[in-house]
Structure 1
Amino acid sequence: MRINPAIAFTLILLAAMFGSGIVSASWGYSLGRQALTGIRQPETRPASASTASRGTAQTSDFVLLNEEDILKNIKARIEGGLDTAD
């Protein structure tokens, strides 16, 4: 009984693809593991309840602006009455 060359070629290509997938996966895993050496996960989340209970003050630089002031500023810039370099 003779093996069909098309089937043999297909099986060879399938085995080569499977092998290259395994090699690629292991190489990528080792590169990623090497890149992450020395990096560790934080022990707690920064905004967890445990930090708030310790009495640490949490400051925020977030400032809400008045919409009317923003619209006046935009209208003045459109009319050319205000310097646009602010």
Structure 2
Amino acid sequence: MKFNWTVFLTITLLLMMMGAGVFSAMWGFSLGREALKGVTQPEFRPGSNLSNRSENDSNTNHPRFLREEDILEEVEAQIQSHQPEVTPHSA
């Protein structure tokens, strides 16, 4: 039987690619593990304090809503203060 170089080179290339994949996976895992060594999870659960709060405490975290009319008045005032007066040109 004659030695087939095409099959030999194909198998060699596949084995080298698998070896490179295993090596890069192990290297990436070790780098990630080393990078996250000092990182820990928080010591509390955000949802656990919701049932223990009083009604006054829960109201302090709500955002303050503004009226749309007030916002529009402030914006209009800012626009008017930054624009110079436009005077019609007389010919």
User: TM-score under structure 1 normalisation?
Assistant: 0.68
The 1-side partners of 2:53 and 2:42 are apart by 20
The 2-side partners of 1:65 and 1:2 are apart by 87
Aligned residues: 80
Which deviates further from its counterpart, 50-59 or 34-43?
A: 50-59
Where 2:50 maps in the other structure, the secondary structure is helix
**Percent of aligned pairs with the same amino acid:** 44
* 2:67 alignment partner in structure 1: 66
Unmatched runs of 5 consecutive residues or more in structure 2: 83-91
* 1:51 alignment partner in structure 2: 49
Shift of residue 25, structure 1, vs aligned partner: 0.5
Greater relative contact order (Cα 8 A, min sep 6): structure 1 or 2? 1
Q: More helix per residue: 1 or 2?
A: 2
* 2:34 alignment partner in structure 1: 34
The 2-side partners of 1:2 and 1:69 are apart by 91
Q: Aligned-residue CA RMSD in angstroms? A: 2.6
Shift of residue 68, structure 1, vs aligned partner: 1.4
**Alignment deviations for residues 6-63 of structure 1 (CA, whole Å, 9 cap, x no partner):** 22222111111110110110111111111111322224322x1x32344474543733
User: TM-score under structure 2 normalisation?
Assistant: 0.65
Structure number, greater radius of gyration: 2
Unmatched runs of 5 consecutive residues or more in structure 1: 82-86
